[in-house]
Amino acid sequence: RKAIAVMTSGGDAPGMNSNVRAIVRSAIFKGCRAFVVMEGYSGLVHGGPEYIKEYSWEDVRGWSSEGGTNIGTARCMEFKERDGRLLGAQHLIEAGVDALIVCGGDGSLTGADLFRAEWPSLIAELLKNNRITKEQHTRYQHLNICGTVGSIDNDMSTTDATIGAYSALDRICKAIDYVEATANSHSRAFVVEVMGRNCGWLALLAGIATSADYILIPEKPSSSREWQEQMCDIVSKHRKRGKRTTIVIVAEGAISNDLTPISPADVHKVLVEKLGLDTRITTLGHVQRGGTAVAYDRILASLQGVEAVNAVLDTTPDTPSPLIAINENKITRKSLVDSVRLTKSVAEAIHSKDFKKAMSLRDTEFIE
């Protein structure tokens, strides 16, 4: 019987529990043993039954309606070093695991792909140092890896949505609705900072959904003077028409076209000094990642979990590691390494001020 393990890694995202639940149950349904790795890559580095646990069908009961990730997640520096990955390989073999499904962001999936690429040399070293037996070396020649994308940022190229993004978006919209009510009472302006790292998806979509007055995102930067003038023009036009509220959404990664970060404090200053508005800053922070997943994320995570199990069972030593995506409402398989590379190239394009390229790369949905 094959043994399939799942872990969640990097920043947590609502819907990760649905993903783990679907993976555990699909694996068992397909006649495999199901394992979970606790605390992301730290669990691999620590090893042992406390960190690499076999799960039964009942162990994931009710998980779809729980937020966060019940199997824990962590950032793990040791796994970035070869020695950490060597321990990880040893512990997976000791637990009898054949395949690993990682639910995380681009960092976690980069680590996963590296782990698979290095696997033959890792197990050769383990054998040489008598840390595994000859039989184990033969039995665990290949490690099948598959990625599912858990991230509130929706920042992975090649997939239309990542697990958790619509839940975070929903939370942001609700929070802005709350702020709007008090803004209206006092005729105030609010600058709302939202998460997303280098990606403006959450800020842009929240801005559309709440009809914000102005949105600042990393993919479409302008000079300081330009955005300030444009924002002031738009806000004063709205105010002249009798609007009592002003909402400006600032993405975490918002920048000017000289790559200077734009902070909520910068926006606050402009609204106060140029327009004389009574202005407050609201930083939503971790509220955005918390709470339960919206129905869309639960469904996405469940469907992708089933496909991830199918994918690891189909993968042969010669096929590239798959990443489970969604494109035009269909669950699809992409090359994990290409998806990660394309995602990184968006950040690189932004940093080299090639904003047009960044936009076009973000729009890329298919890799041939």
What are the residues binding ligand ADP (CB under 6 A)?
Answer: 9-11, 41, 75-76, 79-80, 104-108, 110-111, 114, 151
Q: Which residue from 36, 115, 110, 29 is spatially nearest to 71, judged by alpha carbons?
A: 36
Q: 7 vs 179, which CB is nearer to ligand ADP?
A: 7
The dihedral built from the CA positions of residue 333, 337, 338 and 339, taken in this order, carries a sign that is positive
Token pair belonging to 297: 């994320």
Q: 42 vs 245, which CB is nearer to ligand ADP?
A: 42
- Check the annotation: does 105 bind a ligand: yes
Shortest spacing between CB 201 and ligand ADP, in angstroms: 15
Cα gap 4→306, rounded to integer Å: 12
- Using a 10 angstrom Cβ sphere, with 0-12 exposed, 13-18 middle and 19 or more buried, the burial of residue 232 is middle
Q: 33 vs 85, which CB is nearer to ligand ADP?
A: 85
Shortest spacing between CB 112 and ligand ADP, in angstroms: 8
- Check the annotation: does 31 bind a ligand: no
- Check the annotation: does 195 bind a ligand: yes
Shortest spacing between CB 109 and ligand ADP, in angstroms: 7
With CB atoms as reference, the residue minimizing the distance to ligand ADP is 107
Q: Which residue from 324, 330, 321 is spatially nearest to 306, judged by alpha carbons?
A: 324
Shortest spacing between CB 187 and ligand ADP, in angstroms: 40
Q: 41 vs 140, which CB is nearer to ligand ADP?
A: 41
Residues 6+ apart with CB under 8 A from 343: 106, 155, 156, 157, 158
Q: 213 vs 297, which CB is nearer to ligand ADP?
A: 297
Annotated catalytic, 153? Answer: yes
- Check the annotation: does 123 bind a ligand: no
- Check the annotation: does 215 bind a ligand: no
- Using a 10 angstrom Cβ sphere, with 0-12 exposed, 13-18 middle and 19 or more buried, the burial of residue 26 is buried
- Check the annotation: does 11 bind a ligand: yes
Shortest spacing between CB 175 and ligand ADP, in angstroms: 22
> Out of 113, 153, 213, 266, which one is annotated catalytic?
153
Per the document, the length of the chain is 368
Shortest spacing between CB 74 and ligand ADP, in angstroms: 7
H/E element, 296: helix 295-314
Token pair belonging to 93: 């073999």
Token pair belonging to 169: 């978006």
Token pair belonging to 82: 């070869």
H/E element, 225: helix 224-240
DSSP class of 293: P
- Check the annotation: does 153 bind a ligand: yes
Give the full edge-to-edge strand order of the sheet including 322-327. 52-55, 33-37, 3-8, 99-104, 144-149, 322-327, 330-335
DSSP class of 335: E
- Check the annotation: does 188 bind a ligand: yes
Concatenate the DSSP letters of all residues of 351-364 into one string.
Answer: HTT-HHHHHHHHH-
Q: 102 vs 215, which CB is nearer to ligand ADP?
A: 102
Binding site membership: which residues?
Answer: 11, 75-76, 105-108, 151-153, 188, 195-197, 252, 280, 286-289
Q: Which residues are catalytic?
A: 153
Binding site membership for Mg(2+): which residues?
Answer: 106
